[in-house]
Structure 1
């Protein structure tokens, strides 16, 4: 007589076998996964910070995870739209653009939960501390350094919120110029090419500026290292949604589940790689969905309308 225990054991064995077969199916179809991001620092810095995490994902998923450092957000957006990039890291606004141009095939799955449990970050505007500027109002007719048009903290958020606060960028500043990257914006400010620069900021000890200062990348005219005291924040945006990692919705369900689980497990399974990725200032990954970025979609629509209006 076949016992209930034997039936359950057989069913469990069948489930394990089916799951293993399914995993082999997607591994055969996806022998390599590409993860791409836009650097806030130089390419060497990115490889040192993110490379160990890509290696961790390779180990967890059982297929090669290749890290691609893109020049700008548009490259990541187009790469995911064309299904050449499987995992991308975005700002909220650039994610919203990727989701739109891919007809919903790019979906967010995790973001970083900062120390203290905060999910999200800010756009800030810096000036040199030795300048006379104490507010956005003081910068009337001056030069502003932006990042690129798909950067949330470096373009979208300041353009959107400053207009709402009565300081439309194209009218308030003599020139608002794209510098190409978060680092370049800070370099331009430190070197005096621009009077103010926007960038991302989590906390006093967690920002792109602080990362650059810690690495000794910013120097005064006499060659001495600059410090946080050499810069001043004159504007900060409302809290922005956390920058998401996004994957392709049309990949196999088992593959998507494996990717999500690997990210969620990272702080426990490889804390060294996780801390390198996050500068050791982040608690863990928090799950997100496209519903968390509804306001980012609205921001993009507003910006698109402004561009159309200026074009007419």
Structure 2
């Protein structure tokens, strides 16, 4: 049909031109994805880390998405397969991930992660009391957290073997793996296990929230300190998202100062980290046979 109105003709031409140009000029950058080890109650994780994703998106200028995982090993697998490019790992899972993805880097850690610690907790029925000396927990039932947890398995097992001179399977009547620190606390509090190993940060958070009944369960021993959680980023992100992207992510994490965001971890701040900071964790993992 012939268009006689010049304005109508121009409008139609503009619409056609716009539709033609969209595929060439509106290509979206790839979504930058991250995950976090499921170290506490799974139902809380998405609420916590969706807030972090929004912060990263605003600061980095790319779409950012948090990808939940079911286990520590799943977090490492997602990183290896490039399903996520950044991860909030524990000390051990970070070491495992960086060994699988060459040249990946630990770029930031919580201030507290420079001197992290584990608690040994016990049900009141054991009669065990807080002590600076390692307690005699032989013959009890014992639960670790996740099999891949630094604070809930690796370091507690190391300290137990150092102090009691045998492996957990020979020391305890029964050994379990709860899956995360919240479950460890709940299981020992309920008497499902008599003794357990837990991340001190999760214990203190749940204690402050009124979730722990210290007439039923309490801390009986506090470990020496060791390096733990960190942000690890894949080596290929600069190629995918632009030169200098790794440094931009690092600076964004180090400048995070919103108390609500930091409570998601929970940490007071983030400080710079390197792969070398986690050599002690790798050495212990090799010593007790968790990595080659």
Alignment match, 1:158:
156
In the alignment, the residues of structure 1 paired with residue 104 and residue 174 of structure 2 have an alpha-carbon distance, to the nearest angstrom, of 34
Question: 1:53-84: CA deviations, max 9, x gaps?
Answer: 21100111111211122221111111111111
Q: Superposition pairs for residues 163-202 of structure 1, below 5 Å?
A: 163-167=161-165, 168-201=167-200
Distance 1:84-1:105 versus aligned 2 partners, 3 A rule = farther
Tell me: CA distance 1:173–1:254, structure 2 relative to 1, closer, same or farther (3 Å). Answer: same
What stretches of structure 1 move > 4 A for 4+ residues in a row?
A: none
| More strand, by proportion | 1
1:304 lines up with 2:279 in the alignment: no
CA positional deviation for 1:214: 3.6
Structure 1 residues 264 and 54: CA distance shift in structure 2, 3 A: same
In structure 1, the partner of 2:16 is none
- The answer as to 2:202 corresponding to 1:211 is no
Query: Is the Cα–Cα contact under 8 Å of residues 127 and 189 in structure 1 kept in the other structure?
Result: yes
**Structure 2 matches for 1:34-183, cutoff 5 A?**
34-102=33-101, 104-114=102-112, 119-134=114-129, 137-167=135-165, 168-183=167-182
Contact 1:110 1:245 in 2 (8 A): yes
Q: Is the 8 A contact 1:53 1:273 kept in 2?
A: no
- The structure whose Rg is larger is 2
Unaligned runs of 5+ in 1: 1-27, 202-206, 219-225
Contact 2:76–2:97 (CA<8 Å) still a contact in 1? yes
Residues 50/276 of structure 1: CA separation in 2 closer, same or farther (3 Å cut)? farther
How far apart, in 1, do the equivalents of 2:68 and 2:226 lie?
24
Deviation sequence 1:74-101 (CA, Å, 0-9, x none): 1111111111111111111121111122
- From 203, 207, 228, the equivalent of 1:242 is 228
User: What is the CA deviation profile of residues 215-245 of structure 1, one whole-angstrom value per residue up to 9, with x for unaligned ones?
Assistant: 4445xxxxxxx2x454332232221113111
Tell me the distance in 1 between the aligned counterparts of 2:164 and 2:126: 23
Give unpaired runs (5+ residues) of structure 2. 1-26
What is aligned with 1:292? Answer: 277
Residue pair 1:154, 1:200 contacting (<8 A) in 2 also:
yes
Q: Which residue of 2 aligns with 1:17?
A: none
> Superposed, which structure 2 residues align to 1:241-260 within 5 Å?
241-252=227-238, 253-260=243-250
TM-score (ref. length: structure 2): 0.80
Q: How many residues align?
A: 259
Q: Which moved more, 1:209-218 or 1:72-81?
A: 209-218
The whole-number CA distance in structure 2 between the counterparts of 1:47 and 1:244 is 19
Partner of 1:232: 218
Give the SS at the match of 2:114. Answer: coil
Cα distance in structure 1, aligned partners of 2:190 and 2:216:
12
| 2:135 and 2:221 in contact (8 A); partners too | no
In the TM superposition, residue 31 of structure 1 has moved relative to its aligned partner by 2.0
Moved more, 160-169 or 50-59: 160-169
Distance in 1 between residues matched to 2:92 and 2:74, nearest whole Å? 14
The 3 A distance-change label for structure 1 pair 278 and 178 is closer
CA distance in 2, matches of 1:215, 1:30: 41
Query: What is the rounded CA distance, in whole Å, between the counterparts of 1:33 and 1:160 in structure 2?
Result: 36
Deviation at 1:30, TM superposition (A): 5.0
